Amino acid sequence: MKSKISMLIIEDDKYTRLNLRELLNPYGVLDEASNSEEAKEKLKKITYDIVLTDIEIKEETGLDLIPLIVRKGSHCIVVSSFESDEIIEKAYQLGASHYLSKFDLKKQLPVYIQKFLLHKNARLDKFLEEDFITKDPDSLYALKELLQFNLKNQCLFITGPSGTGKSLLGKLIHEITHPESPLIHLNCSEVSESLLESELFGHEKGAFTGADYKKEGKLKQANGGTLFLDEVATMPLSMQQKLLKALDEKTFYPVGSTTPIKSEFTLISATCEDIKDKIGKRLFREDLYYRLNGFNFYLKPISQRIEDIEPLIKYFQRKASRRFVIRPEALDELKRYSWPGNIRELRKICDQFSQVPGGIIDLNALNKLIPLEFRSQDSNLETWSDQVKEKGLKLLIQEIERRAVEDSMKRNNGKVTACIKELKISSSAFYRILQENKLNF
């Protein structure tokens, strides 16, 4: 895969700029700055993949620009005729990735640009082979398009149904943008409203009842790396306002503290909910949504990626401790199934396939694991009428409730609060279904 990257050349000598442009033209889109002020203005407005800067610029030393370049999340390459050990050491200490001599650019510079490209491309290829199995052309195109951008210290908003791989995509982006920095994960749906502020911002000892020690928040832990806010749409409105302020100012206060803390990181947010619907119902702040939504990525459910069913099953077959074989008619049925739990559900079913006596998955074996009424996408009255005649309405409703709760618990790893939200039922209704069906999690 070929990638185009954005680059800024900071150099006051016209002929050196021309030389660099000739060398770099094949790799992407180029911009230039002939002095430090022009460079600062461009860096304020644009995030470049790579910035190349000289050390000796008219108004000030290029060393002074390196911290700004690094804070913007760009890969910094110093190109200089200075050979002083002191200056070279200082450049690396300030965050430069490479220090190259102007006298050997034609040979050396393309090597480091290609290394930068290879890192991005190789990680994507590995991701598609080992983590995110897809042959869907839309998904592949969208992934490759996303990685054309420098996402370091930017915001990415990932949407899509539960079980489609949002956490996997977040991990990929982190490994490409911050390969040696921390990835800090927080599932907002798993933390109570009273504790969420402390989880995000941290707290001082004695800040509230039970605060027996000083706690470092996720925002501080993520400094220089990536913060992944999963299920961000469940965040309470009061916390949304505080998060927005912290993101805008890149500064926050731990609970009980008057000392501000600065932190800069790549922010990845994810949700399986209809965020526009929540905004319309005033359950999610529109201004926070636009702050989080710097780049947007939608992960399609596998019901819209039918061509992925077979390669995914083969992938899980290879991972299973005990091999199994799927008959063609059973595979056809699996392709017709709606997969409400997406890849998470498919992985679970493949685990069950590996335990089937005889190791052959035919229609009979499939029907025991996924009964026909749940596989069928035909919801016409005649189909329901046949099932009511066979089982009776009460038993059919009980069976549907049981299956829905079982599937939801599997998808949400037994987390009751997430299941209740997903099923859109009350907690009393949820526990009634558990009791009636003698379900134990």
Per-residue model confidence (pLDDT) at position 311: 93
Structure tokens at 255: 């609970």
**Helices 393-411 and 416-423, packing angle to 10 deg:** 130
Higher pLDDT, 180 or 18: 18
How far apart are the C-alpha atoms of 38 and 33, rounded to whole Å?
Answer: 6
Placement of tokens 């009424």 in the chain:
373
How far apart are the C-alpha atoms of 367 and 329, rounded to whole Å?
Answer: 12
Per-residue model confidence (pLDDT) at position 372: 63
Per-residue model confidence (pLDDT) at position 382: 41
* Residue 328, burial from CB neighbour count under 10 angstroms (0-12, 13-18, 19+): exposed
Higher pLDDT, 128 or 20: 20
| Three-class SS state of 223 | coil
pLDDT digits (tens, 9 = 90+) for 247-283: 999 899 999 999 999 999 999 999 998 899 999 999 9
Average pLDDT score over residue span 141-152: 83
265 CB-near residues (< 8 Å, 6+ apart): 153, 184, 219, 222, 223, 224, 225, 226, 227
Most confident of 104-113, 176-185, 294-303: 294-303
How far apart are the C-alpha atoms of 175 and 303, rounded to whole Å?
Answer: 29
Per-residue model confidence (pLDDT) at position 263: 93
pTM assigned to the model: 0.68
Average pLDDT score over residue span 33-48: 89
Beta strands in 81-200 (DSSP E): 98-101, 155-159, 183-187
**pLDDT > 80? residue 217:** yes
**pLDDT > 80? residue 410:** no
- Please say whether the beta carbons of 170 and 158 come within 8 A: yes
For residue 196, how many C-alpha atoms fall within 13 Å in the half-sphere facing its CB?
22
**pLDDT > 50? residue 2:** no
| Three-class SS state of 230 | strand
Structure tokens at 241: 């306002």
- Residue 230 pairs in a beta bridge with 187
Per-residue model confidence (pLDDT) at position 378: 44
- Quote the mean pLDDT of the chain: 86
**pLDDT > 90? residue 219:** yes
Per-residue model confidence (pLDDT) at position 384: 58
Higher pLDDT, 302 or 370: 302
**What single-letter DSSP state applies at residue 255?**
B
Per-residue model confidence (pLDDT) at position 1: 39
pLDDT digits (tens, 9 = 90+) for 232-256: 999 999 999 999 999 999 899 999 9
- Please say whether the beta carbons of 36 and 61 come within 8 A: no
Q: Which of 386, 330, 387, 388 is nearest to 360 (CA)?
A: 330
For the chain, which domains are there? Answer: 5-119 (3.40.50.2300), 151-300 (3.40.50.300), 302-377 (1.10.8.60), 381-441 (1.10.10)
Rg value, the chain, Cα: 27
Higher pLDDT, 61 or 255: 255
Per-residue model confidence (pLDDT) at position 380: 40
- Please say whether the beta carbons of 211 and 168 come within 8 A: no
pLDDT digits (tens, 9 = 90+) for 397-409: 887 888 888 888 8
**pLDDT > 60? residue 383:** no
Helices (H), 271-415: 275-280, 286-292, 309-319, 328-336, 342-353, 363-369, 372-375, 381-391, 393-411
How far apart are the C-alpha atoms of 203 and 190, rounded to whole Å?
Answer: 19
**pLDDT > 80? residue 354:** yes
Q: Which of 267, 307, 304 is nearest to 134 (CA)?
A: 307
How far apart are the C-alpha atoms of 106 and 219, rounded to whole Å?
Answer: 42
Per-residue model confidence (pLDDT) at position 428: 80
Higher pLDDT, 328 or 399: 328
How far apart are the C-alpha atoms of 277 and 283, rounded to whole Å?
Answer: 9
Q: Which of 86, 61, 85, 65 is nearest to 77 (CA)?
A: 65
**pLDDT > 60? residue 91:** yes
